[in-house]
Structure 1
Amino acid sequence: MDPKNDSPVAVSPYERLQALGINLPPAPPPIANFVTHVREGNILYLSGQGPREPDGHLYAGKVGGDVDIDSAYDHARLTGINLLAVMHDALGDLGKVKRIVKILGMVNAVPDFAEHPRVINGCSDLMMDVFGAAGSHARSAVGFGSLPGNITVEIEAIVALHE
């Protein structure tokens, strides 16, 4: 609270990232014939990102097989950081984000895996941590038999922007 007027003090997404110990990496380049984002009016559509480290290392494997849920959660969080990097690259300022509207989380899982929501919470929790209530979103978390490069997760997002 601001003691001068009893209203909450606004905290920027960058201050929240700093408090979380996160430095945004450069936005990952597309791996095929597409762009990382498309802005249409006040909506930003983000192409799917994966669990890519800044050095280019990608986490691969089958969740529920050779990759455990906790590791896959961390991979989804890393993927969320990459989505934030694309947002920053597209907008120049994460303060332009009005709300995270929708997230589609895809999990490269063994056929009998059933904990997809727990995995994609890695990204969802990050969006809430960075944007507060504006990070609350609609979401789908689904399993796939494979993903490009055998990555563990791929996540895309739709973001509403301030006018």
Structure 2
Amino acid sequence: MLTTSLTLNKEKWKPIWNKALVFLFVATYFLDGITRYKHLIIILMVITAIYQVSRSPKSFPPLFKNSVFYSVAVLSLILVYSILISPDMKESFKEFENTVLEGFLLYTLLIPVLLKDETKETVAKIVLFSFLTSLGLRCLAESILYIEDYNKGIMPFISYAHRHMS
């Protein structure tokens, strides 16, 4: 039933889905303790990007013909070279995988693919509202922690008990 509905709509769901994924990704990026949900969002972004590239592969190469993409490619090659000459390749690759592959290359490739058909204004609104949502959620979570600590008798801003909070 769902697939029939999506087929009849001629993939009108794609822009909404893509914007929702990018919104959720940016909105949850700065939140702690929800790593499994962040990974779920990233997996959905990868699956969606693979699906869209496989549906029309010729429309995506122009996205990556710019100086930003070439700079990322050169930086990635330099980082791979630094791993190869590193005395501890295993530890270097672990850091490369966590920071560069996941946090740099993946997002540099995924977000342009997902937001390919959006205008600059729409992309700016998505990023702005997702940052505001992230900030609001972060403030709400930390306010709750302050209130819980206050109920336990720990006063805010007096001791170092809250220095991990922003």
Normalised to the residue count of structure 1, the TM-score between the two structures is 0.27
- Structure in which a larger fraction of residues adopt helix: 2
Higher Rg: 2
